[in-house]
Structure 1
Amino acid sequence: MTFELHGVSVRHTFTASAPAALDDLTLSIGQGEQVALIGPSGAGKTTLLHTLACAHRPDGGNLSLFGIAPWEASDVQRHALRSRLFLAPQTPPLPPRQRVVTAVLAGRLPQWSLWQALASLFRPADPDAAYNALARFNLQDKLYSRVDRLSGGERQRCSMARLLVSNAEAFLVDEPLSALDPALAVQTLAVLQEEASSRHATLVCSLHQVDLARAHFPRVIGVRAGRIVFDAAREAVTDDMIDALYRHTDRAPVISEPMDAPATVPLPTRCF
């Protein structure tokens, strides 16, 4: 089993009366499974992904990754666990002035020594690997471009190329399609799923595109207010279940997303 959670709660503030981002959540995801997380904005999907990646420590309950309780392990053991995961945030943490080839090869940082990482900043260690990863998203012509010359959708796909060069056993991907047009969204999702299948890696992907989640993922988990509303095979997910999941929220389920457009907000330079 890749992930096991029993009664997990997570709060983002130290106030006991504050609502929990995750509230008494129990979930198991096996190695090689492909799971879509859906739900309204603020439901806890991002918090769940970061908790699985050991970026958030639960306030209660038990979390196990690959059969190991990360927060009961040593710092060295926890770092080793994190190296088996790849967390792709919705806003990729790509340094704006960095070359795309260097940004993509950062997917190998968990396996490199400090000296290898520093050397690759000046002379990319494996540009062919970066080129091949970018080519799967039709971005090979951007290999030596600067990150701040990419559009928002290109940055998202660059982040996915970083995932491809990693050797992670589990992919935790947060809203990877939000800046992509419908055709690019389907292509990007197909590449992620093909890569996960080829290496028998677990894929957990949060999506606002409910139609894509139901069409492409064998298992769909609906999350609302930090709790699991349903966890079912896609064939068992009905329109009524979707309507109930999004009822009385400010955001309805997304059927299509905005076209790929240039990003205007500077991105942070810190990589996870």
Structure 2
Amino acid sequence: MTYRAHGRVVVVTGGGGGIGSAFAREVAARGATVVLVDLRSDAADAVAASLPGTGHGVVTGDLTSRTDVERVLSEIEERHGRIDVLVNSMGMTSAERFDERSVDSIDLELTVNLHAPLMLTRLAIPLLRAAPDPRVITVVSLGAIFPLGETPIYTASKFGLRGAMLSIALDLRDKGITLSSVLPSATDTRMLRQEALDGGNAFQFQDPPQTPERVARCMMSLLNRPRLEAYPRPSESWLVRAALLAPNLLPRAMPLFRGKGERGQARYLAELERRGLVTEDGRLVDGPQ
């Protein structure tokens, strides 16, 4: 069944980013009114201007701040009166190793990736209940299943987010609110490009990164056919879930994949240079999210 998006109010956090903007384009093309929420107003404004249809808007806010979250929701309520679909797609990662990074940076990453989407979802409940068929879609990560040694705080936040959204989905399903999560593997976004430049997790480059559009189509499938979780690349999900059946084997198994991942990462960095997204001195340039 195809989700009837026409006239629905769809709120997308991280709307100026790669996955958020790709989903915004998908759902706007089906007639939805999209509200992009992002800390970077310039990025969100550019996405909003590119969306098909009319009535789209941007609300700027820091979703790690309860005061900002309440203001953002108040603006959405004033403009639209409800939220039909809330999409949690904001996030961050860091390639700093656990034994070297500051405690403040750990706290920030957990706040952005775990606390912020939970706080927003909870405070958005009244606006969701004002909709006839309220939905919540959260962008988690395949890293919510498989431990990534180079990015343990990202892994921790995504493990927690996946578990929380599964639990909340079970709690709210009989209360009329449908929650789903998408678990993408490496996706060609600005965040991944920066991580690759910083020497982040090489395991995720076993295959070339997928496009944000592929993830967005998977998210649309959750609107068409609601379920707890979906994977843009199902074969990868089966691989990582099978690997965790025997977690004690990971220290011996990981080296078998490291070489392929490092070669894939090197190819990805070379591709970024060809696309003009990396400067000669190895810095990420302003460009597509």
Range class of TM-score, shorter chain: 0.3 to 0.5
Higher strand share: 1
TM-score, normalised to structure 1, is 0.33
- Greater relative contact order structure (CA < 8 Å, 6+ sep): 1
Higher helix share: 2
TM-score, normalised to structure 2, is 0.31
